[in-house]
Chain A
Amino acid sequence: MRRPDGQAKVRGEFSYAGDLHAEGMLHGVTLRSPHPHARLLRIDTAAARALPGVHAVLTAADVPGDLHFGLTLRDEPVLADGVVRYAGEPVAVVAAIDPRTARRAARAIVVEYEPLPAQTDPTLAADAEPLHAEGNVYRHLAYECGDPRARGVVTVENTYRIGMQDPAFLAPEAGMATPTADGGVRLEVATQWLHSDQRQIAWATGLPPEKVQVVLAGVGGAFGGREDVTLHTHACLLALATGRPVKMEYTREESFLAHRQRHPGTIWLRHSADASGRVVSVEGRVVLDGGAYASTSPVVIANTVTLLQGPYRVDNGRFEGWSVRTNNPSCGAMRGFGVPQAAFAHESQMDALAAALDLDPLEIRLRNALRRGDTATFGQRFTQPTPVREVIEGLRAVPLPPAGGKLPGGVGRASSPGSVRRGVGYAVTMKNLAFSEGHVDESTATVSLRDGHATVHCACAEVGQGFVTVAEQVARTVLGADTVTVTQPDTLIASAGSTSASRQTMASGTAVHRACVAVRDRLLARVARERGLDAGLLSIQDGAVTCDGTPLVDVAAATPGHTVRATEHFAHPPTTALGQGDVYVGFAFSAQRAVVDVDVELGLVSVVQIASCQDVGTVVNPTQLLGQIEGGIVQGMGLAVMEEVVVVDGHITNPEFQDYLIPTIVDAPEVVSVYVTDPQPGMPHGWKGVGEPPLCTAVPAVAAAVRDATGLPLPSVPIRPEHIALGIGTPPTVTRTTPRPPATTGGTALSEEPADRPGTWESEGAAGH
Chain B
Amino acid sequence: MKPFDYARPGDVAEAVRVATLPGAVFLGGGTNLVDHLKLGVARPDLVVDVRTLTSREVTDTEDGGLRAGAAVTNSELAADRRVRERYPVLAQALLAGATGQLRNTATTGGNPLQRTRCVYFQDVTTPCNKREPGTGCSAIGGTTRNHAVLGASQACIATHPSDMAVALAALDACVQVLGPTGERTVPFTELHRLPGDDPSRDTVLEQGELITAMGLPPLPAARTSAYRKVRDRASYAFALVSVAAVLDVRDGVVQDVRIALGGVAHKPWRATRAEQALRGGPATPDAFAAAAAEELADARPQPGIDGGNGFKVPLVTRTLVATLRDLTAAQEG
| A414 adjacent to B228 (CB under 8 Å) | yes
| A648 adjacent to B237 (CB under 8 Å) | no
What is the 8 Å Cβ interface bit string for chain A, positions 370-414, against chain B (1 contact, 0 not)?
000000000000000000000000000000000000001111111
Query: Which residues from chain B contact A667 at a C-beta distance below 8 Å?
Result: 233-235
Q: Of B142, B143, B233, which contacts A410 at CB under 8 A?
A: B233
B42 within 8 A of A: no
| B322 adjacent to A409 (CB under 8 Å) | no
Query: Which residues from chain B contact A34 at a C-beta distance below 8 Å?
Result: 125
Query: Which residues from chain A contact B306 at a C-beta distance below 8 Å?
Result: 728
Q: Which of A124-132, A183-191, A538-546, A657-665 contacts B (4 or more CB under 8 A)?
A: A657-665
User: Size of chain A's interface in residues, with CB distance under 8 A?
Assistant: 33
In the docked arrangement, what's the CA distance between A721 and B119, Å? 20
Query: Which residues from chain B contact A602 at a C-beta distance below 8 Å?
Result: 230, 315, 318-319, 322
Pairs across A and B, CB under 8 Å, 14 listed: A34-B125, A409-B229, A410-B237, A411-B234, A414-B228, A414-B230, A601-B322, A602-B315, A603-B230, A603-B315, A658-B238, A664-B234, A720-B232, A728-B305
Query: Which residues from chain A contact B233 at a C-beta distance below 8 Å?
Result: 410, 642, 661, 663-664, 666-667
Most buried by B among A409, A410, A412, A413: A412
A654 within 8 A of B: yes
A653 within 8 A of B: yes
Query: Which residues from chain B contact A658 at a C-beta distance below 8 Å?
Result: 117, 122, 238
Query: Which residues from chain B contact A408 at a C-beta distance below 8 Å?
Result: 234
| B142 adjacent to A648 (CB under 8 Å) | yes
| B318 adjacent to A601 (CB under 8 Å) | yes
Query: Which residues from chain A contact B23 at a C-beta distance below 8 Å?
Result: none
Q: Of B119, B235, B326, which contacts A416 at CB under 8 A?
A: B326
In the docked arrangement, what's the CA distance between A558 and B238, Å? 64
| B117 adjacent to A409 (CB under 8 Å) | no
Q: Chain A: residues with CB nearer than 8 A to chain B?
A: 34, 408-414, 416, 419, 601-604, 606, 642, 646, 648, 653-654, 658-659, 661, 663-664, 666-667, 720-722, 725-726, 728
Q: A410-B233, A412-B92, A412-B227 are in contact. Are A648 and B311 (CB under 8 A)?
A: no
In the docked arrangement, what's the CA distance between A604 and B306, Å? 17
In the docked arrangement, what's the CA distance between A646 and B230, Å? 20
| B240 adjacent to A409 (CB under 8 Å) | no
Query: Which residues from chain A contact B95 at a C-beta distance below 8 Å?
Result: 411-412
> Lowest 10 CB-CB distances: which A-B pairs, in order?
A410-B234, A412-B96, A722-B311, A666-B234, A666-B235, A412-B229, A653-B143, A667-B234, A661-B233, A601-B318
What is the 8 Å Cβ interface bit string for chain B, positions 291-313, against chain A (1 contact, 0 not)?
00000000000000111000100
B220 within 8 A of A: no
Interface of A is mostly: loop
In the docked arrangement, what's the CA distance between A648 and B322, Å? 34
Closest B residue, CB atoms, query A726: B311
Query: Which residues from chain A contact B235 at a C-beta distance below 8 Å?
Result: 410-411, 664, 666-667
Q: Chain B: residues with CB nearer than 8 A to chain A?
A: 92, 95-96, 117, 119, 122, 125, 142-143, 146, 227-238, 240, 305-307, 311, 314-315, 318-319, 322, 325-326
Known: A602-B230, A658-B122. 11 other contacts (CB 8 A): A411-B235, A414-B229, A414-B231, A602-B315, A602-B322, A646-B143, A661-B232, A664-B234, A666-B235, A666-B236, A721-B315
Closest A residue, CB atoms, query B139: A653
Closest A residue, CB atoms, query B226: A413
Q: How far is the CB of B268 from chain A (nearest CB, A)?
A: 16
| B232 adjacent to A721 (CB under 8 Å) | yes
In the docked arrangement, what's the CA distance between A728 and B229, Å? 21
Q: How far is the CB of A721 from chain B (nearest CB, A)?
A: 6
| B311 adjacent to A412 (CB under 8 Å) | no
In the docked arrangement, what's the CA distance between A412 and B95, Å? 7
Closest A residue, CB atoms, query B228: A414
| B96 adjacent to A722 (CB under 8 Å) | no
In the docked arrangement, what's the CA distance between A65 and B211, Å? 61
Most buried by B among A413, A642, A721, A722: A722
Query: Which residues from chain B contact A666 at a C-beta distance below 8 Å?
Result: 233-236
In the docked arrangement, what's the CA distance between A172 and B322, Å? 42
